[in-house]
Amino acid sequence: MDTVTSPVLPRGNLPRTALTAIAPLTWGTTYVVTTELLPPGHPLFGGLLRALPAGLIALAVTRTLPRGAWWGKAAVLGVLNIGLFLPLLFVAAERLPGGVAATLGAAQPLVVAVLAVAVLRDSFSAWRFLWGGVGVVGVGLVVIGPDAALDGAGIAAGLAGAASMALGVTLTKRWGRPAGVGPTAFAGWQLAAGGAFLVPVTFLVEGAPPAIDAPAALGYLWLGLVGGLFAYVLWFRGLTSLPVTSVAVLGLLSPLVAAVLGAVLLGQALGTVQLVGFGLSLAAIVAGQLPAPTRSTAPERTSR
């Protein structure tokens, strides 16, 4: 007789999951910091200051450089997770309403569920794919307004950005972290590589840096030290110790935090539809931390 075994989150994963979740919770502050503190028209410069100084600080503190093949691997991961992802994210944000861009980014867990099969040779999990779809719907209900407009280039950039980071986190899981290298050094390699990639891109697209006043300096410090170094250390630490699909779905927390801060600090309304979306998104996040239900065959009783 077949019975369904309910999924249970291993207790040992709870602290690591909670620490990893701090990263997307922190990234959720990016929107309000960018709109309220940073000079407009220089999103790539903001991404550059978020990555390169944090990476250089991590390298200076840990005094640990890649060795052998890890020079190339660190460069690939840095470009996918940071250097390529951030420009695509900003293009999507500029060409699309913020809600549409956030919803496209929320598709990342779906891409990771597919890449886990192709890259990690995991079995396809309909459970995780289903809940990833629920998360996309939930985020969409929270952040997409009735007047949302679509733009082909913006949609392409949003999807490409989600695919870039999805491939980055999947490869991070496949390659792991080198023995003897701590999470701070590992994050520093990627932040420095992604920041170095952004240097020519930023100056070719945006030209000279903007003038930086006191609020902008505070905003850049927050994005670089907290949203950059601190958050990415926790993120990559979680990626190497938790299932990649479970970590990916935690990214849904970022647009939810952005919506809450918009309501609390900027007076943006949250109605019934948005609250339903919150419920769906949180359900998807919790379900994404659970192993898929499995069927077990119980022995049939025989009469004597």
pLDDT tens digits, one per residue of 134-157: 988 888 888 776 555 567 777 888
pLDDT level of residue 4 (50, 70, 90 thresholds): very low
> What single-letter amino acid sits at 89?
L
pLDDT at residue 254 tops 90: no
Give the CA-trace dihedral at 128, 130, 134, 135, to 10 degrees: 30
pLDDT at residue 171 tops 90: yes
Q: Output helix, strand, coil percentages for the chain, rounded to the nearest 5.
A: 70, 5, 25
- Give the number of other CB atoms < 10 A from CB of residue 125: 17
Residue whose tokens read 């023995």: 179
CA angle 186, 188, 190 (to 5 degrees): 80
What does the pLDDT read at residue 6? Answer: 43
Residues in the chain: 304
